Amino acid sequence: MAGLTPAPLAECGAPDGGRAYWVKAADGVQIRLAHWPGARHVLILPGRTEYIEKYGELVRDLGAAGWGALVVDWRGQGLADRALSDPLCGHIGDFAEFQRDLDAVLAVAGTLAPGPLPWIAHSMGGCIALRGLMRGKTPPAVAFSAPMLGLPLPPVQAALLRFVTPLARLVGADTGYAPTTGPTYGLTSMGFDDNNLTTDRAQFDRMKAQVLGDARLSLGGPSLRWMGAALREIAALAPLPAPAVPALFGLGSDDTIVAHPAIRHRADGWPGAALIDYPGARHELLMERPEVRDDFLARTLHLFERHTG
């Protein structure tokens, strides 16, 4: 597209016709945005460690239902710029930086995908989306897949992190990995039997093959500063009233990555929102076994069709 610089986009099971572009945020950080054309579009806001190609099969299913898609690589992951010399350490100075990425994506989306643009926001993307809504962004509807509105940390550990991370920053030590994590933390070192992402073997194997096949897509554990920034953002968002945007929430009963009570509390206080529980499902509802994946996507598209005319 004129005015946008092409970026790499690997084959990922999505329909033909997809294109990726480099996009600059207001602070000069380069992120990647992919576009699959359609008569109407969905914006997909991924979670921590994720990358555009992970959503290829979802884009395929959206296309079969008549929807095009936009998917973003947030700063610090995928092929977007990474902040540290160690590219495997997931680092962010402050979660406000993600809002610069969101602003840049929405500015380009107005040209690539004009018209109503509902959002699918997964995990960390759900936290970023909620802040965007609180800042006055007004998509016609949002579907939250296991949004990161709380972290399931023991109270003592959470309090310790809130205490330690500012001290670590004072001495320049907050760019190291958070405790219990490291460069191989996450999908690259997981086996299917001990994974906390999905109960679907085919989806797990597909995701793992992607990160093993292209090391640039891999991301390990978060930095101490990422953890502190995430906890601050979660705490700041928690007391704010729900925005006037139609919403759907999905949550797997066996999800150990995000805090269930925080999601339930937010959904309960959101006028008109629905919360769908998926017994036995883990964190990746849109990459879960077919009955979970298909149900959540069908409910999502029903919501979007009701609110996009």
Of the pLDDT bands very low, low, confident and very high (cuts 50, 70, 90), residue 157 is: confident
Query: According to the model, what pLDDT value does residue 112 have?
Result: 96
Tell how strand 30-36 and strand 19-24 pair up.
antiparallel
pLDDT average, residue stretch 280-292: 98
pLDDT(170) > 80: no
pLDDT average, residue stretch 200-223: 97
The predicted model scores a pTM of 0.97
Of the pLDDT bands very low, low, confident and very high (cuts 50, 70, 90), residue 132 is: very high
pLDDT(55) > 90: yes
Query: According to the model, what pLDDT value does residue 1 have?
Result: 63
d(CA 47, CA 76): 12
pLDDT(155) > 90: no
d(CA 221, CA 48): 10
The pLDDT > 90 percentage for the chain reads 91
Burial status of residue 76 (CB atoms within 10 A of its CB: 0-12, 13-18, 19 or more): buried
Rg (alpha carbons) of the chain, rounded to whole number: 18
Summarised one tens digit per residue, pLDDT across range 242-267 is: 999 999 999 999 999 999 999 999 99
Summarised one tens digit per residue, pLDDT across range 60-86 is: 999 999 999 999 999 999 999 999 999
pLDDT average, residue stretch 144-168: 82
User: Residue 39 phi/psi, 5° resolution?
Assistant: -70, -25
pLDDT average, residue stretch 196-218: 97
> Between these two residues, 173 and 261, which has the higher pLDDT value?
261
Give the angle subtended at the CA of 207 by the CAs of 205 and 209, to the nearest 5°: 65
pLDDT(198) > 70: yes
Diameter over CA atoms, the chain: 54
